[in-house]
Structure 1
Amino acid sequence: MQPTVQTLLDRPELALGLLTPATTLPAEALVAPVMWAHSSDLADPAPFLDEGQVLLTTGTQFDLDEARADAAGFALAYVQRLRDRGVAALGFGTEVIRDGTPATLVDACTELGLPLFEVPFRVPFIAIARLVADLLAEDAYAREAWALQAQRAISRAALRPDGLSATLAELSQRLGTWVGLVDATGNLDRESPSGGLPQPALGEVVGEARSMLRRGQRAGRSLLAGESVGEPQRLTLQTLGSGGALRGVLAIGDSAQLDQAGREVVNSVIALAGLALEQNRNLDRARGHLRSGLLRSLLAGDLALARGIATEMWGPLPDGPVRVALTGDPGHALDRLSELLELRVDERDGRLFFARDADRVALVLEVADSAVADELASEFDLPVGISDAVDLEQLEVAHEQALRALERARESGSTARVVAFDEISRQGVLAFLARTDARAVAVATLAPLVQHDEASGSSLVATVRTWLENGGQFDATAQQLGVHRHTVRSRIALAERLLERDLSGFHARADLWAALLAVQ
């Protein structure tokens, strides 16, 4: 244990006497750690001292005539400099220069809250310095022994069936604090002790861990959580895994054991946890290849093989009717997305199946279960297409529908990240034909009308659209636009001249309607 001022006072061989009343000292003054003992009779030794040191002096710098007007001021300034420097205590050696400790020095130490003790003549300063050095060496050895023992215990814990949980539990016990692991999906995966960190501090830790994971860079930071409810707790967060492929975040509560030895133990846990998560990652990749193979079997209609393997590995496949959902390319977020889906598979007990499908991720889910698709779209900022409900035997049809819906979701941008096939199938075949590759042709087709509207302030495009929506009926169009039917006839005739085509026939009208859909 690191020595303190009280440790020195309690040693009978030193016979040190505390001169400043304990009741006048700050609460932590006597238990503050002592880093070293140094002797000096300089009038201003502060520049040569460090925080936590004990200063020993024989008092040659103090005037023997305490009645002088400046004696009290000198002592007060002397002690103030020591306090500002962070000196732990002042020891005064008696019967060397003077018989006792100056009263002005006692008063100054009492006023400023600096522990002052008297050193008997028979006790040399070197005895105090040697004792402090021996105690520091004992403490350093004890901490090294503690760290070695803790690392051995943690290594043994890592060999247990659930090595990661056992490792975190051992670390929590050794540090005497809460330890938690936030996985790559941003969820609290495990903690020790369970419920050891109350809300809202736990929510703040998880939120900060998610932010660190999104940044995708290795990092460590300190967090003060729970301030909003008046229960602040200092926690340390450290990412696990390499940059760009983070596996999680380790969170550790504040602990008196987190000195250099404690940090070494934490570093060993970070290495073990990172290794365990990396092994899980490799296993997940192998599972991912198996899932992709099962998806190909399902699309090929080999349900018996897919059902048998899936049941052994994850549980039964979803019963029909089902829907297929396809996501856009998750890129570097694939591992994190896969871990999230693994959790959702466990929660649904076989009512969800997913697999890598080229540069996409395919999901087979129950008809009413759209929450997963919405979660992927929002969490990973991905477009998602969802098929109609089909029997499991018609999965290939559903896959094609989901692909068409995904294409529309990509075109829709951020306004419609999840698109269902039935939303676009209701628009008709022409809406499907008016894809992005037809947009250039459509723009060229409508250019004469657009240019005329821009040049003369007319509304030919709007009139043609409304006229086609009303099946080419002039009266209904005029009523909807609030103009005379002859005005509508005049505008349509002008549009025919500009487009150089007769709009009385079905094919011309259908082609113009497709162009309007393509540029909509």
Structure 2
Amino acid sequence: MSSSVAPQLLPPLRRLLADPSLHLRLLTVESDLPAGALDQPVDWVHSSDLPDPTPFLSAGQMLLTTGRQFAVDTAADALYPEYVARLASRGIACLGFGTEIVRDGTPDALVAACLARGIPLVEVPYGTPFIAVARAAGELIAELRFARDTWTLAAQRAISLAALRPDGLSATLSELSRQLGHWVALFDPRGELDRVFPRDAFSGASASRDSLDRARNEAERMLRRGQRASLTVNDGGETLNLQTLGRRDQLRGVLALGGRTELDPASQEVVTSVIALAGLSLEQNTALGRARNRLRSGLLQALLGGQVELVRAISTDLWGAFPLEPVRVAVTNPPPERLDTITEFLELRAEEGGGYLFYARLGNSVVALVDSTTGPLLDELVGFGLHVGLSDPVECRALPRALEQARQALDRSHQGEPGITAFDVISRQGVLAFLATTNAAEVGRAALQPLSAHDAEHGTALLVTLRTWLECNGQFGPAAMALGVHRHTVRNRIGQAEALLGRDLGSFHERADMWAALLTTQGMPAS
């Protein structure tokens, strides 16, 4: 992957060691140190002869010492391991030992202690003042920061120019990938991959494709939450950075970047500018989408008014083939703040399906006409946490009736977890079962109150006996078997229930009324 190679922000230790004016000599052989030990960034140089300078050190610093804190005799050898261990726990990048001030040369025991802890140890000759090492590091840091600032400005200018090209969004993301040396992917509001740069980023190793799959999974989770968010994860040696695009509850997608290195503040600044440009581009696309949605809503009204051929002709010219008859009407009521997200998702699905899906807003609802090829689409809507009502298959001229069926199915769907409820399912349950979705529950509870009150006061089981007896078509023998009691016990309980209710349960009308009352209060306290 070619890139403009953004400069590092801090100099590696190797650059300090290579400075000929400092005459530094590495005492710990590089091959005996951890890999990359000499390529660690050095953010400052500090000098101290304290036995424990760690309270005044930060990770990534280089410490210089003359060894004044150690005795000159051999007893000092025992102090070095503990001293170096403290430095290692602080995360210093290097230890420099100044010679010919307290003692000649660097103690072998100190070299061994540094090797044991994986800390580079350099010898600083008498002719090299500590301040010269600190000044050299400071000049390198300033040089790299200037180069980094220059790169940031150049990168932002290149990205701004890319945004002016005909396909500004793709050009911008491609330029971001080139500048950072990372792959860049854009996921749509469904969490599906929209585009990726460079285009051949995932044509090689499977590890890279695994990173893309991980990014897709994280993007789907972020979009389902419906809130603006950013995320950084490590995946198989790659660092993934993800950022949602768009406003809260109106997310337009997710921008993902992946690479072997983490983004520093300068790179993050460049990414932030791209997020703003990408968000603007997607918002413009959204404005066009709103105009399409208004047109779709008008066509749906015409369709419900019976102008099927007119709507079919217009829809076919604009979006491709119209759903094949018979069609089923699906209705969902997403939260108002997520209406745009759902309609954008359906627009993408309609484009992919070649027109075999027609959808439109109707008030706060989203109505979709689907044929046999677009059934799986409804499962994806449920994935957004939505309830969906689905009509029976009908001809297009019967859409008003199908819409009413879908709405009734949607009402029933809201009684449970998000999912699809088909009208044919609730129609098979019968008219009495539909009473449970109305306000008849209070009437039913009042009708059954004499039984529930008696059960509560005397510990009887009249209510459950009545339900079981009715379920057994008023037969005492099967009801007794289901309850695990004698048939005469059931007969006595039903007689007691008749007395309390003031009803003749031998009448079909009274039995049907009691059954309806039980259905309306199912799962509710009857008292």
| TM-score (normalizing by structure 1) | 0.82
The aligned residue for residue 10 of structure 1 is: 18
Which residue among 125, 140, 159 is the counterpart of 1:154? 159
The aligned residue for residue 439 of structure 2 is: 437
Alignment partner of 1:35 is 2:35: no
Does the CA-based 8 Å contact 1:319-1:392 persist in structure 2? no
SS in structure 2 at match of 1:295: helix
SS in structure 1 at match of 2:38: coil
The aligned residue for residue 246 of structure 2 is: 241
Structure 1 unaligned spans of 5+: 226-230, 469-476
The aligned residue for residue 223 of structure 2 is: 213
SS in structure 2 at match of 1:206: helix
Does the CA-based 8 Å contact 1:434-1:515 persist in structure 2? no
Structure 1 pair 162–312 and aligned structure 2 pair: CA distance change class (3 A): farther
Deviation at 1:517, TM superposition (A): 5.4
Alignment partner of 1:463 is 2:469: yes
The aligned residue for residue 61 of structure 2 is: 53
Q: Report the RMSD for the aligned CA atoms in angstroms.
A: 3.7
Give percent identity, aligned residues only: 52
Deviation at 1:451, TM superposition (A): 6.3
SS in structure 2 at match of 1:37: strand
The one-letter code of the counterpart of 2:409 is A
SS in structure 2 at match of 1:380: coil
Alignment partner of 1:289 is 2:329: no
CA separation in 2, counterparts of 1:80 and 1:488? 84
The aligned residue for residue 395 of structure 1 is: 399
Deviates more, 1:290-299 or 1:330-339: 330-339
The aligned residue for residue 420 of structure 2 is: 418
Deviates more, 1:37-46 or 1:245-254: 37-46
CA separation in 2, counterparts of 1:35 and 1:303? 72
The aligned residue for residue 340 of structure 1 is: 345
The aligned residue for residue 385 of structure 2 is: 381
CA separation in 2, counterparts of 1:430 and 1:98? 101
Tell which structure's C-alpha radius of gyration is larger.
1
Deviation at 1:57, TM superposition (A): 4.4
Alignment partner of 1:358 is 2:368: no
CA separation in 2, counterparts of 1:37 and 1:203? 43
SS in structure 2 at match of 1:15: coil
SS in structure 1 at match of 2:393: coil
CA separation in 2, counterparts of 1:374 and 1:108? 63
Structure 2 unaligned spans of 5+: 1-7, 523-527
CA offsets per residue over residues 32-86 of structure 1, 9 Å max, x none? 22222344455554443333333344555555xx5x2323234444444444433
SS in structure 2 at match of 1:14: coil
Alignment partner of 1:115 is 2:123: no
Deviates more, 1:32-41 or 1:195-204: 195-204
CA offsets per residue over residues 168-201 of structure 1, 9 Å max, x none? 2222222222322333323333333453764544
SS in structure 1 at match of 2:358: strand
The aligned residue for residue 34 of structure 2 is: 26
Deviation at 1:362, TM superposition (A): 0.7
Does the CA-based 8 Å contact 1:236-1:254 persist in structure 2? no
Does the CA-based 8 Å contact 1:333-1:380 persist in structure 2? no
Does the CA-based 8 Å contact 1:46-1:81 persist in structure 2? yes
Q: 1:180-219, aligned counterparts within 5 Å?
A: 180-193=185-198, 194-195=201-202, 198=208, 200-219=210-229
The one-letter code of the counterpart of 2:231 is R
CA offsets per residue over residues 138-191 of structure 1, 9 Å max, x none? 111111111112112222222333333332222222222232233332333333
CA offsets per residue over residues 408-448 of structure 1, 9 Å max, x none? 333x433x943322333445556657751334334444555
SS in structure 1 at match of 2:169: helix
Deviates more, 1:156-165 or 1:508-517: 508-517
Structure 1 pair 261–485 and aligned structure 2 pair: CA distance change class (3 A): closer
Does the CA-based 8 Å contact 2:330-2:388 persist in structure 1? yes
CA separation in 1, counterparts of 2:493 and 2:44? 98
Structure 1 pair 126–515 and aligned structure 2 pair: CA distance change class (3 A): closer
Deviation at 1:355, TM superposition (A): 1.2
SS in structure 2 at match of 1:139: helix
CA offsets per residue over residues 71-117 of structure 1, 9 Å max, x none? 32344444444444333333444555655444554454445443333
Alignment partner of 1:252 is 2:257: yes
Which residue among 279, 282, 298 is the counterpart of 1:277? 282
Alignment partner of 1:349 is 2:351: no
SS in structure 2 at match of 1:87: coil
Alignment partner of 1:163 is 2:165: no
CA separation in 2, counterparts of 1:512 and 1:18? 95
The aligned residue for residue 147 of structure 2 is: 142
Deviation at 1:392, TM superposition (A): 1.5
CA separation in 1, counterparts of 2:312 and 2:505? 56
SS in structure 2 at match of 1:400: helix
SS in structure 1 at match of 2:185: strand
CA separation in 1, counterparts of 2:128 and 2:433? 99
Deviation at 1:353, TM superposition (A): 0.9
Deviation at 1:324, TM superposition (A): 0.8
